């Protein structure tokens, strides 16, 4: 861990809850080449509430199923095992992330809905660019703002100092670093390290605001960065001081995207987000 991070923040990281057991089991399944529907059902049936949330999430128009699904098996058939497993991981995280984050001006549910939107956008963008299908772009995008859950209290207390920097045009993530000695991306990466996540996913979270700082991220950081930027653009930004909506041209070049392709894709993302916020309500 970075020695420059204050001890109080590191203490919060150390006591941050482990990833839900169902999520850990589902992630281990994703690492296998062949996963059966029965294996997935066995995990989800141990938690009826989780199974219901998975179906509610899968039935959101955001995921584009041609018809409503009423069973886990039907959802797996339409979505495919790998994609369904990722959506299930997303549903597992709602209890952790479906909370108010006052330091960032996020009411209950906003962080989780944003995270789901970014994860689906990242996965769609990776498919659009025909990137390695074995790569997991969904999960780091889902967890990219996890660090905000730890930093919210500290950001809230330091709000006057942070707001002063924001008023001068300093991006939020830099203001966090300047005032707190760390930022939510770095803290998110520490949490994923604690959860024993692969290094490429940890780096994707660590550098999701500034992918150019990561020499070789296997394009995970770039994908999460663009997906997050698109979703911020469409929602007017997560909070004051977030990055401008124009992407780095160097990132577009690495992904082989022209500016017009980026903005066209961002417009599609806008309609996805509208569908998600209008129809998805997890209890």
Domain ranges of the chain: 20-92, 99-279
User: Residue 30 — φ and ψ, nearest 5°?
Assistant: -60, -25
Provide the percentage of residues in the chain whose pLDDT is more than 70. Answer: 89
| Domain at 99-279, CATH from 3.40.50.150, 2.60.40.10, 1.10.3210.10, 3.30.1280.10 | 1.10.3210.10
Structure tokens at 266: 């961002």
Over the stretch 89-130, which tens digit does the pLDDT of each residue have?
888 888 889 899 988 999 998 898 899 889 989 988 998 888
Contact assessment for residue 221 and residue 255, using Cβ atoms and an 8 Å cutoff: no
Most confident of 38-52, 186-200, 264-278: 186-200
36 has a pLDDT exceeding 90: no
Q: Which residues of 69-101 are buried (b: 16+ CB within 10 A; e: fewer)?
A: beebeebbebbebbbbbbbbbbbbbbbbbbbeb
CA 118, CA 283: separation in Å to the nearest integer?
A: 21
| CA distances, 120 to each of 10, 138, 155 (Å) | 30, 6, 28
Mean pLDDT of the 274-280 span: 63
Rounded CA separation 251/156 (Å): 32
Torsion angle of the four alpha carbons 207, 95, 119, 279, in this order, in degrees rounded to the nearest 10: -140
pLDDT band with cut points at 50, 70 and 90 for residue 27? confident
Which of 76-90, 211-225, 247-261 is predicted most confidently? 247-261
Q: What are the respective helix, strand and coil percentages of the chain, to the nearest 5?
A: 65, 0, 35
pLDDT at residue 25 in the model: 86
Listed residue (107, 111, 86) closest to 97, CA to CA: 111
Q: What is the pLDDT of residues 12-25, one digit of tens each?
A: 999 999 998 888 88
Write the DSSP symbol of residue 106.
B
**What does the pLDDT look like over 229-268, one tens digit per residue?**
998 865 544 444 455 568 999 999 999 999 999 998 888 8
């Amino acid at each position: 861990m970075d020695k420059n991070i204050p001890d109080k923040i590191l203490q919060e990281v150390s006591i941050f809850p482990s990833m839900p057991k169902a999520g850990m089991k589902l992630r281990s399944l994703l690492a296998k080449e062949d996963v059966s529907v029965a294996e997935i059902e066995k995990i989800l049936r141990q938690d009826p509430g989780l199974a219901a949330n998975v179906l509610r999430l899968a039935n959101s128009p955001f995921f584009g199923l041609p018809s409503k699904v009423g069973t886990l098996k039907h959802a797996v058939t339409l979505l495919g095992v790998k994609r369904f497993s990722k959506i299930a991981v997303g549903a597992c995280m709602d209890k952790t992330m479906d909370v108010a984050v006052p330091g960032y001006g996020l009411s209950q549910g906003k962080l989780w809905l944003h995270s789901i939107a970014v994860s689906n956008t990242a996965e769609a963008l990776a498919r659009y660019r025909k990137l390695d299908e074995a790569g997991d772009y969904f999960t780091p995008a889902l967890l990219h703002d996890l660090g905000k859950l730890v930093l919210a209290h500290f950001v809230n207390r330091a709000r006057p100092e942070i707001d002063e920097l924001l008023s001068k045009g300093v991006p939020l993530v830099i203001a966090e670093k300047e005032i707190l000695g760390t930022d939510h991306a770095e803290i998110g990466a520490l949490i994923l390290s604690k959860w024993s996540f692969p290094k490429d996913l940890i780096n994707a979270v660590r550098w999701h605001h500034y992918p150019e700082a990561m020499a070789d991220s296997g394009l995970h950081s770039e994908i999460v960065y663009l997906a997050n930027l698109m979703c911020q653009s469409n929602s007017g930004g997560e909070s004051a001081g977030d990055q401008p909506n124009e992407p780095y041209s160097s990132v577009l070049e690495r992904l082989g995207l022209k500016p017009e392709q980026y903005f066209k894709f961002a417009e599609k993302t806008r309609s996805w987000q509208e569908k998600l916020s209008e129809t998805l309500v997890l209890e």
